[in-house]
Amino acid sequence: MIGEHSSKQYDNELEAIRSKVLLMGGIVETQFLDAMTCFRIGNPERADRVMREDDTVNQLEVSLDDACSHLIVRRQPAANDLRTIMATIKVITDLERIGDEATKIARTAKALHARGAVTVNHYEMVRGIANNTSDMLHDALDAFARNDGKQALQLIAQDAVIDHEFRSIMRNLITFMMEDPRTISAALDTLWVAKAIERIGDHAKNIAEYVIYVVEGKDIRHTKTTPPIPDDVSAQTE
């Protein structure tokens, strides 16, 4: 009875941590969406809100890391449970970094609009990669919530699309700057935003890899073996 009670209490504590991680994920999702809205239309107040939310995300990272550490010390979890906790800690770190990237976008957008730069065309240039990355982040959090290894594997393949889009944006922006030096300032800002979006995609990919680690016990980071790319994803990179 004591062992059963202890196991149930451990499960409750772990579930509480996971719920808080998903709350943190929801915050950084909103940060990213709001930051892209700022890049599209300005709104310095919203940009300031994105930057303020970064403090909330940072505080959540500290409290969740502490909760995970205490859970390991108090419960001394077995191998499978320990794997789950360690992966959760890594997810927390990636979420905090996504918040940092969203803050960079908001800060850049605020400065860009403050200078009176025209950004409509520049937003259109990153709209596709932003939408794909937003979907990827949402799906990564969904895979984490449901421990869905299959969905996580598909997301890892999707990262190739985002990398391809970033390289295309970079080439186009370099062309614009060479043809018209007056576009250099705004083009560089757009490039920083595109890079931040691409990095958010990388962090979403990391989350997907941690889901696979929990579900299958395989650490596929930095391996030469890449997941098969579905036909619909492969077509987007051509």
Confidence of residue 224 (pLDDT cuts 50, 70, 90): low
15-43 per-position pLDDT tens digit: 999 999 999 999 999 999 999 999 998 88
Q: What is the mean pLDDT of the chain?
A: 88
pLDDT of residue 116: 74
> Whole-angstrom Cα distance, residue 4 to residue 11?
11
pLDDT band at 118 (very low <50, low <70, confident <90, very high): low
State residue 43's pLDDT score.
85
Answer yes or no: are the C-beta atoms of 98 and 24 closer than 8 Å: no
Whether 203 shows a pLDDT value over 50: the answer reads yes
Q: Tell me what the mean pLDDT of segment 189-208 comes to.
A: 96
Categorize the per-residue pLDDT at 231 as very low, low, confident or very high, splitting at 50, 70 and 90: low
pLDDT at 5: 45
Paired tokens of 12: 């409750």
The pTM (predicted TM-score) of the whole model is 0.88
The answer for residues whose C-beta is within 8 angstroms of residue 148's C-beta and 6 or more apart is 142, 211, 215
- Give residue-wise pLDDT tens across range 71-85: 999 888 887 888 999
Q: pLDDT band for position 222 (50/70/90)?
A: low
For the stretch 138-183, pLDDT in tens is 999 999 999 999 999 989 889 999 999 999 999 999 998 898 888 8
Amino acid at 159: D
| Span between the terminal Cα atoms of the chain, in Å | 59
